[in-house]
Structure formats: structure tokens, C-alpha cells
């Protein structure tokens, strides 16, 4: 006899909710319904006994389906795995520390949706329960006042645009007509507003029914995500603002601008919060960065209201604040300096002799060099020193590089790299004198072929050889300067090494962070409070320079000593052996299938997952078996998306399997075997898109 399929799936995500989880589960299982339902519980690797409590309920009630994460994923994988499990017509939510307060909640909401197919969301009033308040304290609710507005609103009927502009719902009240049995949109992530995103994805397809009856309880505590938003919006948006804005930008694109004006208000809420925090602390660099990054959202609003702001300034001058908010604060008394006691021991690693074939020797090749804390700091210092007019970057350059260039006020342009990461040199015809071209050793392999030949024969522009992904690309650099990353490819504490003529003068001293901050603060105040004329112009210029200081700090001595004692040939040989093994076993999916032997030291083995299989599925399956691989992140700014050609499809399918010097033949055999099992659907997760029941 076939088991009756549930009409509703209740999703309960939990992490360390042992004091509350039993009440949450009972409140769901005790629902009095005329239809079958299931309770899907997803535990994010709890450590407080939550797991056993859930297992006990699952053993007693077949309606309970239990999904346990092998490692804590900070909520993201837990939610997405749970949502991927849902195959019912409707989905409801109850987190592990909340509970439903009436046994007829589910019946009431689902029956309404069944009888009204033009509605896609049913929700209700929610009671807030504060852990540290007495039981006799006045109750508080998340609710919508339906006593105002037109007849439609008094009946609790709302549309999507009203929900996105004024969000007055809470997750435990949702019942959604589930429309994503085949998977959520590619942009969906479990960020802080996952509930808002799910609400909007469904509200856009139908109306919202709101019941003005409290049928669930939302526990509030001082560790929850939304708590900080209520206590200090400035600090909240300083921490979460960029993620908040990116979330709504992707939502705006998904809905093709249908709710643009409402989404703009949500974005400006975050922008105002970040601006307020930067203004209070006097961080003009941060203030400028926020305004530059989000100009499309605020510029029209400011221009439309410029006349109003000017009218207020002229008619109500007493209400205009003319002093930056941080300048009126009394300075804190400095603590008296304490004498230094003791001293640092000599590095123990220096007892090991340096080797002639060390990583340090091969990287520097007897040339001038300078050690920085990070490769990005090394790049910024060299660009500033050489007065580069414009920098040409590969189209898959990490986002952080673009942010640094914006802070340096340096122009940049992207060039395409192609589907096999072998850029065509045609773009060099547009490079002008004073420009610099940056090439990358992707996955450890230096650029070759026509591009290398054209760069060697260059005239009038500079060449930067970015080797931050390479232990050894197989050949000495022929560029004006080469950049290595000790931390990224060898795991030493820090280090960005700049190698090339004239770079020794760029070697940074140990940074005096406290002195730089004090000097910057004093000059900012001088610039803002003094009239912009005469002798103050010099101070203004100095303040502007300090608002965008170059990354400070030198490579640590520990990193330098470690690099001088690591024998490069042995590390290279092991990486190449691992590459050959993976090429032999996974040749059908290799990015470079004909390159079984390599002359460089690969950090990763690049493979392409079959078309139609999401790369994230393979990553998740490997991760469950303790194999950590990664994708090649695409961080190109949206306005340059047109630069992408064949590399876009490559990046969507690309996986980077570990094959560096840390691993041996047994590790490669295990990786290759597990990849092959995943690709044929024989993993713990089954086939891509299939329902996973552990």
C-alpha cells in the first residue's frame, strides 16, 4: 500500500536548541488537520544534545524526517538542504527555538489557500517572547494593523509591493504555496533576509492573506541576528550592510525591476545606517566607499531632494549642523605607558639551516625584492610608485582588487581570458603608454603562447606578472615586476613578495598604526573645520592622502625564514606527481585533458563538471566526505559583465580539486574515486536534484 503523500512540509532548522526543541516539535506534531503533513528537521551539527532529542522523536513518529549536517555550516547549507527536501504542495516554518501556540494554525491557513487559488501566502500575527523578561510583562507582537486602510486591507489581504516596502511578517507564521520543487533561483542564498526572499518569491505569484490572530511564538534573545538590528542599526549595517544590499540587488534583477521603488527603500535603509556609523566615527574613507559603491541607489533621491535640502539650510539655519559629529567629543585620557617586561625569544626555525634550492631563492632569483603583508599591498605600492595611468585586469579578477583600485583612484579596464584561461593578445592594441597589464598564473600555470610573446615584445607599457596563485609557474618572470603570495600557496603566516628592478625602495617599515590614525584624525578635522582657502589647501591635500592610505606592513620575519628553508624542487615534484595521477583518472573531465605532464607546480587540478549538473552539488557531496575543493570565484562587477565570453560557461562548471605538495598518491586515489562516484550518482547525496533521505 502506498504511503499517502503529505500535503504540507513543515521545515524546522535548528542549532543548539536543546532547551526548546522538544516544545517546538510537539507544537507541530500536535496540529489537528484533515490532511497529512510531515516535519522535516535539519540540525546544523548541534553540540548540546539537540541531536538525540530529535532522534527520539523521529524514532517514535514516522512524520518526522531528520537531516543532520556533518559539520556546522553557519545556517546556509542547513536551510538549503531542508528546502531541497520539500516536495509537498505547501511549506510551513518553525525554527527550533520557536513554537506554534494553537493546534488549528496549520488547518486554518492551508484550508484558506486550498479554497483560494489566487493566494500564494498565508501568514498571521506572532507573539514575541523575550527570554529575560518576566511572564507578567506586557506582550509584544509582530503584526499588521488592519484597522486602517481600505476594505481590502481590513480583510487582511495584501499584495507583494506592500509586503516588500513594509515588512511586518515573521517566519513562523508562513505557509507558502511551494513553487520551487525543482530548486530555488540561482541567486538565492540563505542570508539574513532569507524569509523575506522566500516571501517575495511567492507573493509575486499571488496575493497574501494575513490572519490577525497570534498563532505562534518567536523567541527573542541577545544572540539572534535581528537583535542587533533593533539595538544599534549603525553597528548592524556596518557589519551586514553590504550583504543586505547585495541581497536586494539580486532580488531587483530577478523581478526585472517590478518592485524597484520598494526595493530602493530597503537598500537606502542600509546605506543610511552605514553612513550614520561612518559619520559618527569620522571614517571619511569608509563614507566615500559606501557612497561610491551604491551611487545608483542614492544619487537620484539626493538630486530630487536637493532643492528641499537647500531650502531648509536657508530658512532654518539654526537646525543645520556645521561641525562633524565626532569633533565635539571629549578626547579619552591616554593610559600611562607601562614599561616593557621580558622580550621575544629567537625564532626556533633559525636553528634549521637555509637551503640553496629554497622557495625564497627561486622566487627572488637574486633580484631586488620587497616583502609586504599581503600580495594586494605589494601590488598597490608598486602601482602608486610607478604612477600607472590605467591597469588592465583579467575579467575574472577577485573583487578585492577592484575595491583597492577604487581607493587608490586608479583607472582600470578588463580584458577577456577565454574558456581555457588563455587570453587572446588582441586587446593589447588598445593598451596605451603609461598603462600596465596584469597577467595571472591561473591554477599555477603561467600565461604562454601568443600573449606571452606579445608582452615580451611590449613597448610603452608595463607588465605585472601576478604569481599569487603559483608556487612555481615553471619559468622565470620576464615582466617588469612579479608578485608572489607566500600565505596563499604555502600557508605561512603572511606575505606578498614583490620582485623586480627598483622595488627594494618600496620595502615598508613596521607600521605605526596608532600614529597613522592620530595623524589622519587631526588632519581630517583641520580640513573640515577650516575654510577651503589659502594656507589650508596643503592640509586638505594631506588629509585626502591619509583618507586613502596605502596598505601598510611588511612581511613577517617568520614567513621570510620559513621560505628560505623550504626546498622548492621537492614541493614541485610532489605537486606534479599528484597532477599526473588525477589527469590519468579524471581525464574525461579535465579542463586541460591533453596536459598530463606539467612543467609548473599546480596548486589545484581543474575539472569541468558535466553540463546540467550543478557544481555546488559536487562540492557539497565531496565536502560530506571530508574533501574540500573550491570554485574559481567570479567577482566581476555587473557593469562589466559584457566582457565575459566563453569563460563564463567554464567558470560555472569549473571545480578545483586539491593536488598540491601536502598530498600523496592515496589522497589522489581517494579524491578521484569519490568524484567518479558522484558523477554517476553513487554518492551519499544520490543524483543531482534527487531527494536526499539519510
* pLDDT tens readout for residues 104-114: 999 999 999 99
CA distance 115 to 209: 12
The set of residues, in sequence order, having a beta carbon less than 8 Å from that of 320 and lying 6+ positions away, is 312, 313
DSSP letter at 575?
H
Mean pLDDT over residues 119-137, rounded?
84
Mean pLDDT over residues 661-676, rounded?
90
CATH architecture of 8-221: Alpha-Beta Complex (3.90)
Pairing of strands 8-14, 37-43: parallel
Three-state secondary-structure class, residue 324: coil
Q: Is the pLDDT of residue 644 over 70?
A: no
Mean pLDDT over residues 435-448, rounded?
83
356 HSE (CA, 13 A, CB side): 0
User: Quick one: cell of 529?
Assistant: 573645520
pLDDT band of residue 481 (cuts 50, 70, 90) is very high
Look at residue 531 in the predicted model and tell me its pLDDT. 40
By mean pLDDT, which of 244-248, 469-473, 597-601, 643-647 is the weakest? 643-647
Q: Is-contact 16 53, C-beta < 8 A?
A: no
Look at residue 639 in the predicted model and tell me its pLDDT. 47
pLDDT band of residue 122 (cuts 50, 70, 90) is very high
The set of residues, in sequence order, having a beta carbon less than 8 Å from that of 679 and lying 6+ positions away, is 589, 609, 610, 613, 618
Q: Is the pLDDT of residue 228 over 80?
A: no
Q: Is the pLDDT of residue 535 over 50?
A: no
pLDDT band of residue 214 (cuts 50, 70, 90) is very high
pLDDT tens digits for 38-54?
Answer: 999 999 888 889 999 99
pLDDT band of residue 354 (cuts 50, 70, 90) is confident
Look at residue 519 in the predicted model and tell me its pLDDT. 47
Q: Is the pLDDT of residue 265 over 50?
A: yes
By mean pLDDT, which of 145-149, 153-157, 227-231, 660-664 is the weakest? 227-231
Look at residue 514 in the predicted model and tell me its pLDDT. 45
pLDDT tens digits for 588-612?
Answer: 888 877 666 778 888 788 888 888 8
pLDDT tens digits for 61-84?
Answer: 999 999 988 877 666 678 888 888
Look at residue 425 in the predicted model and tell me its pLDDT. 87
Pick 559 or 535 by higher pLDDT. 559
Look at residue 151 in the predicted model and tell me its pLDDT. 83
Most confidently modeled of 183-187, 282-286, 446-450, 547-551?
Answer: 446-450
CATH architecture of 568-679: Alpha-Beta Complex (3.90)
Look at residue 637 in the predicted model and tell me its pLDDT. 46
Mean pLDDT over residues 177-186, rounded?
82
Q: Is-contact 598 579, C-beta < 8 A?
A: yes
CATH number, span 356-511+554-563: 3.40.640.10
Look at residue 162 in the predicted model and tell me its pLDDT. 83
CA distance 331 to 323: 16
Look at residue 632 in the predicted model and tell me its pLDDT. 61
Q: Is the pLDDT of residue 24 over 90?
A: yes
Look at residue 125 in the predicted model and tell me its pLDDT. 92
pLDDT band of residue 343 (cuts 50, 70, 90) is very low
Nearest in space to 524 (alpha carbons), one of 368, 268, 324: 324
Mean pLDDT over residues 454-471, rounded?
87
Q: Is the pLDDT of residue 216 over 90?
A: yes
User: Quick one: cell of 394?
Assistant: 583579467
Q: What are phi and psi of 476, to 5 degrees?
A: -65, 150
Mean pLDDT over residues 52-59, rounded?
95
Q: How far is CA 358 from CA 249, 499, 669, in A?
A: 48, 16, 29
Nearest in space to 281 (alpha carbons), one of 241, 334, 243, 238: 238
Q: Is-contact 631 608, C-beta < 8 A?
A: no
Look at residue 548 in the predicted model and tell me its pLDDT. 40
Q: In sequence order, what DSSP letters do the residues of 266-281 get, joined into one string?
A: HHHHHHHHHHHHHHHH
Look at residue 248 in the predicted model and tell me its pLDDT. 84
Pick 55 or 313 by higher pLDDT. 55
Q: Is the pLDDT of residue 539 over 70?
A: no
Look at residue 668 in the predicted model and tell me its pLDDT. 92
pLDDT band of residue 547 (cuts 50, 70, 90) is very low
Q: Is the pLDDT of residue 512 over 80?
A: no
The set of residues, in sequence order, having a beta carbon less than 8 Å from that of 78 and lying 6+ positions away, is 13, 15, 42, 43, 44, 69, 190
Q: Is the pLDDT of residue 533 over 80?
A: no
By mean pLDDT, which of 395-399, 517-521, 686-690 is the weakest? 517-521
What percent of the chain stands above pLDDT 90? 23
pLDDT, mean over the chain = 78
Mean pLDDT over residues 9-29, rounded?
94
Look at residue 328 in the predicted model and tell me its pLDDT. 45
Three-state secondary-structure class, residue 338: coil
Residue-range domain boundaries for the chain = 8-221, 231-304, 356-511+554-563, 513-547, 568-679
By mean pLDDT, which of 24-38, 334-348, 536-550 is the weakest? 536-550
Q: Is the pLDDT of residue 182 over 90?
A: no
Amino acid at each position: 500500500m502506498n504511503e499517502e503523500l503529505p500535503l504540507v512540509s513543515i521545515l524546522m532548522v535548528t542549532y543548539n536548541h536543546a532547551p526548546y526543541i522538544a516544545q517546538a516539535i510537539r507544537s507541530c506534531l500536535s496540529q489537528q488537520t484533515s490532511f497529512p503533513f510531515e516535519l522535516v528537521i535539519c540540525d546544523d551539527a548541534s553540540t548540546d544534545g539537540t541531536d538525540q532529542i530529535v532522534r527520539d522523536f523521529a524514532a517514535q513518529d514516522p512524520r518526522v524526517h531528520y537531516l543532520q549536517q556533518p559539520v556546522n555550516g553557519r545556517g546556509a547549507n542547513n536551510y538549503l538542504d531542508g528546502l531541497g527536501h520539500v516536495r509537498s504542495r505547501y511549506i510551513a516554518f518553525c525554527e527550533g527555538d520557536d513554537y506554534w501556540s494553537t493546534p488549528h494554525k496549520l488547518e486554518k491557513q492551508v484550508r484558506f489557500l486550498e479554497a483560494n487559488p489566487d493566494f500564494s501566502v498565508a501568514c498571521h500575527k506572532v507573539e514575541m517572547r523575550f527570554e529575560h523578561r518576566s511572564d507578567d510583562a506586557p506582550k509584544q507582537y509582530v503584526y499588521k494593523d488592519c484597522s486602517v486602510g481600505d476594505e481590502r486591507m481590513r480583510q487582511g489581504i495584501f499584495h507583494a509591493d506592500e509586503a516588500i516596502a513594509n515588512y511586518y511578517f515573521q517566519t513562523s507564521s508562513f505557509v507558502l504555496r511551494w513553487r520551487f520543487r525543482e530548486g530555488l533561483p540561482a541567486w538565492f542564498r540563505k542570508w539574513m533576509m532569507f524569509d523575506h526572499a522566500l516571501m517575495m518569491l511567492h507573493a509575486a505569484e499571488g496575493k497574501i492573506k494575513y490572519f490577525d490572530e497570534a498563532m505562534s511564538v518567536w523567541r527573542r534573545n541577545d544572540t539572534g541576528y535581528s537583535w542587533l538590528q533593533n539595538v544599534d542599526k549603525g553597528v548592524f549595517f556596518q557589519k551586514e550592510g553590504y550583504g543586505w544590499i547585495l541581497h536586494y540587488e539580486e532580488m531587483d534583477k530577478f523581478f526585472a525591476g517590478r518592485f524597484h521603488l520598494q526595493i530602493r527603500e530597503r537598500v537606502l535603509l542600509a546605506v543610511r545606517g552605514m553612513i550614520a556609523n561612518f559619520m559618527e566615527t569620522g571614517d571619511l574613507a569608509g563614507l566615500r566607499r559606501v557612497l561610491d559603491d551604491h551611487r545608483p541607489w542614492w544619487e537620484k533621491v539626493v538630486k530630487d531632494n536637493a532643492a528641499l535640502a537647500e531650502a531648509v539650510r536657508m530658512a532654518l539655519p539654526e537646525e543645520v549642523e556645521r561641525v562633524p559629529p565626532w569633533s565635539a567629543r571629549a578626547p579619552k585620557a591616554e593610559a600611562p605607558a607601562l614599561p616593557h617586561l621580558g622580550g621575544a625569544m629567537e625564532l626556533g626555525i633559525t636553528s634549521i639551516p637555509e637551503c640553496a634550492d629554497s622557495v625564497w631563492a627561486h622566487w627572488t632569483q637574486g633580484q631586488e625584492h620587497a616583502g609586504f603583508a599581503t600580495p594586494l599591498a605589494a601590488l598597490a605600492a608598486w602601482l602608486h610608485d610607478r604612477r600607472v595611468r590605467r591597469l588592465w585586469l583579467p575579467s575574472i579578477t577577485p573583487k578585492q582588487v577592484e575595491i583597492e583600485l577604487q581607493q587608490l583612484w586608479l583607472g582600470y579596464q578588463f580584458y577577456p581570458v577565454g574558456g581555457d584561461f588563455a587570453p587572446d593578445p588582441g586587446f593589447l592594441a588598445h593598451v596605451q603608454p603609461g598603462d600596465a597589464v596584469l597577467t595571472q598564473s591561473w591554477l599555477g600555470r603561467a600565461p604562454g603562447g601568443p600573449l606571452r610573446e606579445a608582452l615580451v615584445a611590449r613597448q610603452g607599457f608595463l607588465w605585472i606578472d601576478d604569481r599569487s596563485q603559483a608556487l612555481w609557474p615553471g619559468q622565470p618572470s620576464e615582466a617588469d615586476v612579479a608578485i608572489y603570495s607566500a600565505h596563499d600557496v604555502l600557508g605561512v603566516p603572511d606575505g606578498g613578495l614583490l620582485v623586480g628592478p627598483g622595488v627594494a625602495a618600496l620595502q615598508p617599515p613596521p607600521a605605526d598604526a596608532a600614529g597613522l590614525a592620530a595623524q589622519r584624525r587631526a588632519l581630517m578635522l583641520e580640513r573640515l573645520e577650516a575654510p577651503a582657502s589659502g594656507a589650508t589647501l596643503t592640509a586638505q591635500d594631506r588629509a585626502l592622502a591619509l583618507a586613502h592610505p596605502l596598505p601598510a606592513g611588511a612581511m613577517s620575519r617568520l614567513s621570510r625564514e620559513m621560505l628560505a628553508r623550504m626546498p622548492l624542487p621537492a614541493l614541485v615534484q610532489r605537486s606534479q606527481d599528484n597532477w599526473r595521477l588525477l589527469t590519468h583518472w579524471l581525464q574525461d573531465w579535465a579542463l586541460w585533458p591533453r596536459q598530463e605532464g606539467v612543467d609548473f607546480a599546480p596548486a589545484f587540478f581543474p575539472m569541468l563538471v558535466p553540463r546540467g549538473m550543478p557544481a555546488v552539488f559536487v562540492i557539497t557531496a565531496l565536502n560530506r566526505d571530508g574533501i574540500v575543493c573550491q570554485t574559481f570565484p567570479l567577482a566581476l562587477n555587473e557593469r562589466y559583465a559584457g566582457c565575459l565570453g566563453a569563460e563564463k560557461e567554464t567558470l560555472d562548471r569549473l571545480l578545483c580539486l586539491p593536488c598540491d605538495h601536502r598530498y600523496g598518491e592515496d589522497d589522489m586515489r581517494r579524491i578521484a574515486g569519490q568524484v567518479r562516484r558522484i558523477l554517476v550518482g553513487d554518492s551519499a547525496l544520490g543524483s543531482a536534484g534527487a531527494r536526499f533521505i539519510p
